[in-house]
Amino acid sequence: MCRNIRVLHNFEPPTTPEEMRAAALQYVRKVSGMVKPPQADQAAFARAIDEVTASTERLLGVLSSRGAVRTREGERDKAKARWERRST
């Protein structure tokens, strides 16, 4: 999976619409292979981002939580620890 796409489920405070849209943008970029689409494809690119965002919102709205609630600070600390293990 693309490393730029983050886990969005089971966060406190809940995942924001901006975070969902950012993840959708990364997904569409990865799938299309384009960071910035040509003028002729911009409408399709934007529509795909909107659709992935909406699907993400629906999915997160129905998932049940089994584990401990995540915090952004805790996830940041885990990512930092992974980075430090890789660089040594």
Q: pLDDT tens-digit profile of 25-63?
A: 999 999 999 999 999 999 999 999 999 999 999 999 999
Is residue 34 assigned to a domain? yes
**pLDDT category of residue 4 using cuts at 50, 70 and 90:** low
**pLDDT category of residue 3 using cuts at 50, 70 and 90:** low
DSSP class of 6: P
Dihedral, 51, 52, 53, 54 alpha carbons, nearest 10: 50
Cβ atoms within 10 Å of 32's Cβ, excluding its own? 13
Number of structural domains (the chain) is 1
* Domain that residue 29 falls in: 17-87
Is residue 22 assigned to a domain? yes
Q: pLDDT tens-digit profile of 62-77?
A: 999 888 888 888 988 9
